[in-house]
Structures are given as structure tokens and as C-alpha cells.
Amino acid sequence: MKILKQILRTGIVTEPLPAEAAAEIRAVGAKLEEAIRKRFRGSLTIRQVDAGSCNGCELEIHAINNAIYNCEQFGIHFTASPRFADMLLVTGPVTRNMEIALRRTYNSTPPPKLVVACGDCGCDGGIFGESYASLGGIDKVIPVDVFIPGCPPTPIVLLNGILKAVGSR
């Protein structure tokens, strides 16, 4: 009973959001939905790979799944298996210890294999740079379609980056 009440009370969550934020999400969301409908038959499946991140980027990728950004409403789904993925969303720097696992994941992904590098580290290694342990940005190991800078990129920036990637092919 209490659950029902809480659900009713929360409603469809847009209420705690200031209007400008909600508008922002709607704006990018509408474009995403449209692009995903055209190019991916309404459903974009993403495999997220942490190739060495500090886990900050993962938190924001989680956030686009939360009830406020609710990326599923635009047709974005996360999958556990690279074999069903249209897109790899990769955070990094790519560590030496993850290089092989990242390559394997890439090789098991069917075309079109969109690759999005997430965060300053995914773009160029960020503060970790290149060293004995860090290979640097994702494109040092696999081809990248779109780079999303930020440390970490906010959910809105992430959604915009994914949109850019969807339109890139």
C-alpha cells in the first residue's frame, strides 16, 4: 500500500526538476528518439565498458538511467552482452591490464560497432595520461566515433554525445 502511495506521490518524475532542466532533457530526448527511430528501428542497445576509469564516469552513465533522465523512454537500452550491442560506450584511460579485454569486447560486437569514448580520460587519458600502466585514450586501442569530454560528463552532455554518435553514421 505504502509503495502505491509513494508511486502516486512521485508521479512521473519531472516535478522536482526546475523547468529549464526538464526542458533541456526533453530537447535532447526528442532528437535522440527521432534519430534512434530512423537509424536503429527505435532501439539503441549500448554495452558500457569500463576500460580503466576512476568510476566517476560510471556514476553519470547510471544517472542517465534514473527516473529523471530515463533514457529508456528515448529507446536507449543497456545490455550485458556485446553481441547484442549497437554501441560501445567506453570509459578509460585504457589500462594496460584492460587492453586485451577491451579488444575482445570490441571484436565480439557486431557492426555497426559505434564506439563512444566517455570522459576526459576516454578522450586522451586525462590526468592519468600515458604510462607503463595507462595507454591513454580509447582510440589508442580501438577506433572511436565520438568523444565526450568532461570529468565526468554530466548526464545531459552524455545524452548529447550519444545523439551525436547516432547521427554520425
Nearer to other proteins, 17 or 27 (CB): 17
Among 75, 126, 137, 161, binds ligand SF4 (CB under 6 A): 126
DSSP the chain: -HHHHHHHHH-SS-TTS-HHHHHHHHHHHHHHHHHHHHHHTT-EEEEEEESS--SHHHHHHHHTTSTTT-GGGGTEEE-S-GGG-SEEEEESPPBTTTHHHHHHHHHHSPTT-EEEEEHHHHHH-GGG-SSSSB--SGGGTS--SEEE-SSSPPHHHHHHHHHHHHTT-
Binding mask 68-107 for other proteins (x = CB under 8 A): x---------x-xx-----------x-xxxx--x---x--
Number of amino acids touching ligand SF4 (CB under 6 A) = 11
CB 38, min distance to ligand SF4, A:
30
User: Which residues bind to ligand SF4, rule: CB under 6 A?
Assistant: 53-54, 56-57, 91, 119-121, 126, 151-152
